[in-house]
Amino acid sequence: MYRYIRKSMKPFIAFSFVSMLGAVSVVFMAYIINLLVETITEGKFENFIWIAVLSFVYVLIDSYLDYAVDVVNERLTQELMYHIREDLLESIESQSIVEFEKLGRDYYLNMYTKDLETIESDYIKELLSMYNDVWVFILGFVSAIVISPLFAILMIGLSSLPFALPYFSRKILGNAKLNLSQINEKYLSLLTEIFDSFTTLKVYDVFPLFNKRLRSKSRDLVEAKVYVTHTNKFVYAISYGLRMFVNVFSWVLGGYFVLNHSVTLAVFFTIKQLTQYVAYPIQGFGASYTEVVAAKSVKDKVFEIIDQRNIEAVKEESNIQKIIFEDFSVNFDEKLIFQQLNLQLEKGKKYLLIGESGSGKSTFLKSLIGSIPVENHSLKFQLENGKLLDSSELEKISHQISYIGQETSIFQLSLKENISLQNSITDSEFHALCKQVGLEKWADQSTEFDSILSTASGGEKRRIDLARLLFFDREILLFDEPTAGLDAQNRMKVEEVVSHLENKLIVYSTHQYDEEFMQQFDYCLEIQDGSIVMRETSVNDFVL
């Protein structure tokens, strides 16, 4: 966390200074009370007016500082969260595709929503609250001891009695809430089961039998909720009794010291006020500490991801000439997809990848972009300068590979920015690309993300994919069944664009092809029982 404080030094200094002033203002209330009581008991009316004015000024200053403390706390919190979010995003961005997909999108979404929210509310804000509590405690304790050491210590000890209750009640309250959570989970599980099987239960007319089980759990839920309320109220009653005991006997103790002339009435009221500034921060500090400890595991999980940031690979400028598979084997989802495959793909050639559904076409292509883990030395990339890189160095050449998957990524950007992915692109380049892929009618539409893009059809999205691929103009072009689910017109447009691509290494997987389109490819790669048979294309090679 210190690294983020260093990045947020100005807000941190402002927070530290204003929090200290806020604590001084809070404790100063005791001295205002001392002056008022002393003036009243001594009958010094001539001093009462200026003390009343001083009290009014104090209220204004204290109110402003209360506001200022909250503002600087929030400013520092949000600055820290900003840097944490930025570092987390950069760390995720530095991961390879296979590293990202190992944990999955939902894992990181949960981290960005629930985990970061926990860090903000239960870790950072509670730490700042503890800092405020420490200042109030120190100033209150020192002031009380300076005024009357013995009376202050006795009053602080008496006022601290209620704060022992949470340590004894935590277990009983925790068990009650845990029991309620478990029963509620069972009830919802049965309810979900009934809703998911509604048709079956309706057809066989067995709702009453299943509702009987549900009613039993519903009754358990009633008892569990009543027990939680009973437990909460019981603990509250004890807490209330302790607070009343402290309140009454603090007056008894104070009265004893006043009657024995050990302290004045003004000092009694002052110490009574100061003990609150000692005792309550202890309670607040304890509660905040509990939250911080509970949230630390979440903070550590997020920071572990941040600390695993990969060093950005130095990009190879030399172009890929060959992709070499040597004893290439892939196991995915505990299923052997490819076994000891040996194959070479060359730049300037077009390869048509075919095979039955589930045979491994997508797996083959995803292995080339690092989305599927492979043995480092079984997949190699030969460059123009003679270098031979294996799959562990894929980040060095990833800028030379384009991939069109079966789903199109549409962002909340204009059409132009969706195509260029926010890279620089001239209007003439943009219009030329739109014309090339058949998006002319969209080229002059709104520059903002609107209903046109959000409701684009599958064919229109595929044309955006093609325009994006043409804009980036990379050496290796991979197509994962780009015409799946498209009508004849959109399929023909995709095939037309692909047929005009030259001097690239193209791998195009499909289960839909016609005679004319086949002739645009140099080789056919047919997946058969975990192996790939490569042959030159001819009409006789295919069954339509």
Q: Where are the domains of the chain?
A: 1-146+288-312, 320-410+456-541
| pLDDT attached to residue 523 | 92
Backbone angles phi, psi at 477, to 5 degrees: -120, 120
CA angle 255, 260, 263 (to 5 degrees): 70
Asked if residue 515 has pLDDT above 50, the reply is yes
Can you tell me the distance from the alpha carbon of 473 to that of 227, in angstroms, rounded to the nearest whole number? 67
Instruction: Look at 402 and 255; give whichever has higher pLDDT.
Output: 402
| pLDDT attached to residue 124 | 93
Mean pLDDT value of segment 258-274: 82
In the 3-class helix/strand/coil scheme, how is 265-329 assigned residue by residue? Answer: HHHHHHHHHHHHHHHHHHHHHHHHHHHHHHHHHHHHHHHHHHHCCCCCCCCCCCCEEEEEEEEEE
Name the token pair of 414. 């204009």
Q: How far is CA 340 from CA 43, 307, 327, 328, 410, in A?
A: 102, 36, 4, 5, 37
Instruction: Look at 278 and 54; give whichever has higher pLDDT.
Output: 54
CA angle 526, 527, 531 (to 5 degrees): 120
**DSSP-assigned beta bridge partners for residue 390:** 380
For the four alpha carbons of 138, 144, 149 and 152, in that order, the dihedral sign comes to negative
- 15 burial level (CB within 10 Å; 0-12, 13-18, 19+): buried
Cα–Cα nearest to 309, from 106, 89, 512? 89
Mean pLDDT value of segment 232-249: 74
| pLDDT attached to residue 479 | 93
| pLDDT, tens digit, 9 for 90 and up, residues 120-131 | 988 999 899 989
Q: How far is CA 188 from CA 192, 195, 207, in A?
A: 6, 10, 16
| pLDDT attached to residue 448 | 55
Q: How far is CA 226 from CA 216, 333, 358, in A?
A: 16, 47, 54
Asked if residue 538 has pLDDT above 70, the reply is no
Q: How far is CA 150 from CA 205, 217, 379, in A?
A: 78, 58, 80
pTM (two decimals): 0.71
Question: Strands 320-332, 531-536: parallel, antiparallel or unpaired by DSSP?
Answer: unpaired
| pLDDT attached to residue 16 | 94
| pLDDT, tens digit, 9 for 90 and up, residues 156-215 | 777 676 666 666 666 676 677 777 777 887 888 888 888 877 777 776 677 788 788 888
| pLDDT attached to residue 214 | 83
Can you tell me the distance from the alpha carbon of 173 to that of 232, in angstroms, rounded to the nearest whole number? 7
Task: For the chain, give the number of residues.
Answer: 544
Confidence of residue 544 (pLDDT cuts 50, 70, 90): very low
Asked if residue 376 has pLDDT above 80, the reply is no
Q: Are residues 165 and 239 in contact, defined by beta-carbon separation less than 8 angstroms?
A: yes
Those residues whose C-beta lies under 8 Å from the C-beta of residue 522, and which sit 6 or more positions away, are: 349, 350, 351, 536, 537
| pLDDT, tens digit, 9 for 90 and up, residues 286-319 | 677 777 877 888 888 899 888 887 777 678 888 9
Backbone angles phi, psi at 319, to 5 degrees: -75, 150
For 353: left if phi > 0, alpha if psi spans -120 to 50, otherwise beta; the answer is beta
Name the token pair of 79. 């600055």
Element (H, E) at 401: strand 401-404
| pLDDT, tens digit, 9 for 90 and up, residues 447-487 | 555 555 767 788 888 889 999 999 999 999 999 988 888 88
CATH topology of domain 320-410+456-541: Rossmann fold (3.40.50)
Backbone angles phi, psi at 456, to 5 degrees: -60, 145
For tokens 């100063």, name the residue.
Answer: 28
For tokens 């066989």, name the residue.
Answer: 204
Query: CATH second-level architecture of 1-146+288-312?
Result: Up-down Bundle (1.20)
| pLDDT, tens digit, 9 for 90 and up, residues 58-68 | 899 999 999 99
| pLDDT, tens digit, 9 for 90 and up, residues 200-219 | 777 667 778 878 888 888 89
Cα–Cα nearest to 355, from 217, 221, 222, 511? 511
Q: Are residues 36 and 148 in contact, defined by beta-carbon separation less than 8 angstroms?
A: no
